[in-house]
């Protein structure tokens, strides 16, 4: 178990990591996400003491990293860097067994371990062991980079944007592999990325960092469904692609929240005025507590309305209506089947939350297809 306790770090007086607290369970795959410069790498590297912390403490299984010899500490924490960093003067086998060599394993044991590890990623020992990194593809190199981190079977692996330099297809298969290895070997992984898709795919828990702080730490589904902060929502909006609408989106994800409402005491004329102002032909009626009462349409006012009369009498309560937690596809179906202009979204307490219109659908589809909000 890893425990960050009020960890802080400053550079030249300006804090870049601010009192971070985070507990990571054994076997957990934690992904640190956030915009560039928010302190992810710093947070990661303080764990294996590549960067010294200024305040607070980090405990691994109850023991402070500060009390451990940094070299021994690092040998027991796997580390994979973005630029791969395989040593070009060493063969694949020598690269994989660098840490065992530091730990004075004998040659036989090192060789055996190299074989085992290469089997894990389906790389043939006899074909690749004596090759040099420059003879491998990028994806193969980073596989070896991962094996190097796994060599002495450390319980914890740190990975700083390990796949960001790879092409999308290679990246995808390495993501699958790392996830499989992590499960199979029951490793605790702390993984840095600023690719939200990668985070969603890999994480048991996403830790969203912003400006040196943790804004939210939650499983991917939860973060998608209820981001704790507008910043996260915006970041995800920019980065989340290919969400499968049926599975992941509900009405509150796609509804419009800025809508024209009116209270039941307002007079019909005011109502018409509002409609023309907003260029709509109906308004949602809510009371002072935002409780949803129904809608009022221009047709009803025209056909049944009297000047100076409150709209209360004209409220329609049969407008299509869904709950915030309902699947987005329900709203879509209603829109299509009833040929309605919009569906009203209400909270479980019957408060007005927003509306889903046809343009909400096209927006959601666009973002699903092209990742644009």
76/347 with CB nearer another protein: 76
Class of residue 56 by CB neighbours under 10 A (exposed 0-12, middle 13-18, buried 19+): middle
Distance from C-alpha of 367 to C-alpha of 239, rounded to nearest angstrom: 10
51/152 with CB nearer Mg ion: 51
Q: Residue 43, interface with Mg ion (CB under 5 A)? A: no
CB of 48 to Mg ion, least distance (A): 15
Residue 16 interacts with, from ligand ATP, another protein, Mg ion, none (CB under 5-8 Å by kind)? ligand ATP
β-pairing, 213-218 vs 205-210, is antiparallel
The per-residue DSSP string of 120-147 comes to: HTT--HHHHTT--GGGS-HHHHHHHHHH
Site of interaction with ligand ATP (CB under 6 A):
11, 16, 34, 36-42, 194
The per-residue DSSP string of 321-351 comes to: EEETTSBHHHHHHHHHHHT-SEEEEE-TTSB
Q: Residue 41, interface with Mg ion (CB under 5 A)? A: yes
Residue 110 interacts with, from ligand ATP, another protein, Mg ion, none (CB under 5-8 Å by kind)? none
12: which residues sit within 8 A by CB, 6+ positions away?
A: none
Residues in the chain: 373
Distance from C-alpha of 367 to C-alpha of 237, rounded to nearest angstrom: 8
CB of 160 to Mg ion, least distance (A): 6
195/253 with CB nearer ligand ATP: 195
By CB under 5 A, which span of 41-49, 233-241, 257-265, 317-325 interacts with Mg ion?
41-49
CB of 217 to ligand ATP, least distance (A): 16
Distance from C-alpha of 151 to C-alpha of 153, rounded to nearest angstrom: 5
Site of interaction with another protein (CB under 8 A):
48, 50, 71-76, 79, 81, 83-91, 98-99, 102, 132-135, 148
54/116 with CB nearer ligand ATP: 54
37/52 with CB nearer ligand ATP: 37
Residue 207 interacts with, from ligand ATP, another protein, Mg ion, none (CB under 5-8 Å by kind)? none
Distance from C-alpha of 236 to C-alpha of 5, rounded to nearest angstrom: 27
Residue 75 interacts with, from Mg ion, ligand ATP, another protein, none (CB under 5-8 Å by kind)? another protein
Strand order in the sheet with 14-24: 14-24, 2-11, 55-60, 63-64
CB of 28 to another protein, least distance (A): 21
Q: Is the dihedral of CA 90, 91, 96, 98 positive or negative?
A: negative
Interface contacts to Mg ion, rule CB under 5 A: 41
């Amino acid at each position: 178990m890893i425990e960050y306790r009020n960890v802080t770090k400053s550079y030249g007086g300006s804090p870049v990591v601010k009192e971070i607290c985070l507990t990571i369970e054994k076997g957990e795959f934690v992904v640190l996400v956030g915009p560039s410069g928010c302190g992810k790498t710093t947070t990661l590297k303080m764990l294996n003491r590549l960067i010294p912390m200024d305040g607070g403490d980090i405990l691994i299984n109850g023991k402070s990293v500060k009390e451990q010899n940094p070299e021994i500490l690092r040998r027991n924490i796997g580390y994979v860097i973005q630029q791969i960093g395989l040593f070009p003067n060493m063969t694949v086998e020598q690269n994989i067994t660098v840490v065992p060599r530091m730990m004075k394993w004998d040659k036989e044991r090192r060789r055996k371990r190299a074989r085992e590890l290469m089997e894990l990623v389906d790389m043939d020992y006899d074909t690749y062991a004596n090759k040099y990194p420059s003879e491998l593809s990028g994806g193969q190199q980073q596989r070896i980079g991962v094996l190097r981190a796994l060599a002495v079977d450390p319980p914890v692996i740190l990975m700083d944007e390990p796949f960001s330099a790879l092409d999308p297809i290679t990246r995808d298969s390495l993501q699958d592999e790392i996830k499989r290895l992590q499960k199979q070997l029951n490793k605790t992984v702390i993984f840095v990325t600023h690719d939200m898709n990668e985070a969603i795919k890999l994480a048991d828990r996403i830790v969203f960092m912003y400006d040196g702080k943790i804004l939210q730490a939650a499983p991917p589904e939860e973060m998608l469904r209820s981001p704790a902060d507008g910043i996260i929502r915006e970041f995800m909006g920019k980065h989340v692609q290919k969400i499968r609408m049926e599975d992941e989106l509900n009405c509150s994800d796609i509804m419009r929240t800025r809508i024209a409402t009116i209270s039941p005491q307002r007079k019909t004329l005011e109502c018409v005025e509002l409609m023309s102002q907003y260029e709509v032909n109906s308004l949602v009626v809510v009371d002072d507590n935002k409780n949803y009462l129904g809608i009022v349409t221009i047709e009803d006012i025209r056909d049944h309305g009297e000047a100076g009369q409150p709209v209360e009498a004209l409220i329609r309560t049969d407008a299509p209506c869904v709950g915030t937690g309902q699947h987005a596809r329900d709203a879509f179906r209603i829109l299509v089947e009833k040929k309605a202009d919009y569906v009203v979204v209400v909270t479980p307490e019957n408060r007005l939350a927003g509306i889903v219109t046809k343009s909400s659908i096209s927006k959601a589809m666009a973002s699903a297809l092209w990742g644009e909000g």
